Amino acid sequence: MNPASNLILVGPMGAGKTCIGKRLAERFGLRLLDADREIEQRTGASVAAIFEHEGEAGFRARESAVLAELLADDGLLLATGGGAVLAEDNRRLLRERGYVVQLLVSVEQQLERLALDRSRPLLARGDREQVLQQLALTRAPLYAQVADLRFDTGAMSAADAALKLALELDLHWRRPPPSSSVSGVNA
């Protein structure tokens, strides 16, 4: 059991990291941060624009820097981008700084959930199903490598998935007690 103060959600696009994360953050009293939104706020540009101007390598460098900065803190729920696990340093950081939940979703469910989404640069390259299958082949083992818990979001709504995942977390995740400013006092 990983007694981490941070809760980190990893998984492919469309798995529900942000939607489920909002509900879990509220339930556990954590500060919600979405890594992609943080990058956009800091750069003043969308993820798509960063991909267009700096390429995927430029985006991944920004992503690694933001993850390191965000995970220096405690008491947060971090919804990562789908590719955050690609860099070994990121995987090490995720394992060290949080309790990591891998959200699972089938390619068919991703296609359904992302049908109207035109903001994701990796889905702008041709056949969406083929792209999602290739991403799954590459990334699924990396998600599993960092995960303390795996949770299938399946055909559930975000609300139902968050409720069921919260129950699982109650069983498996032990947050360390908050630091006390009073030391050396016996109760």
Q: Binding site for Mg(2+): which residues?
A: 18
Give every CB contact of residue 75 below 8 A, 6+ residues apart in sequence: 5, 6, 29, 30, 31
Tell me the binding residues for ATP. Answer: 14-19, 120
Residues making up the binding site? 14-19, 36, 60, 82, 120, 139
Point out the annotated binding site for substrate: 36, 60, 82, 139
In the DSSP assignment, the letter for residue 179 is: P
Helix residue ranges, H only, the chain: 17-28, 35-43, 47-70, 88-97, 107-113, 128-146, 158-172
**Sheet architecture: strand order including 7-10:** 31-34, 76-79, 7-10, 99-104, 149-152
- Residue recorded with tokens 């968050």: 162
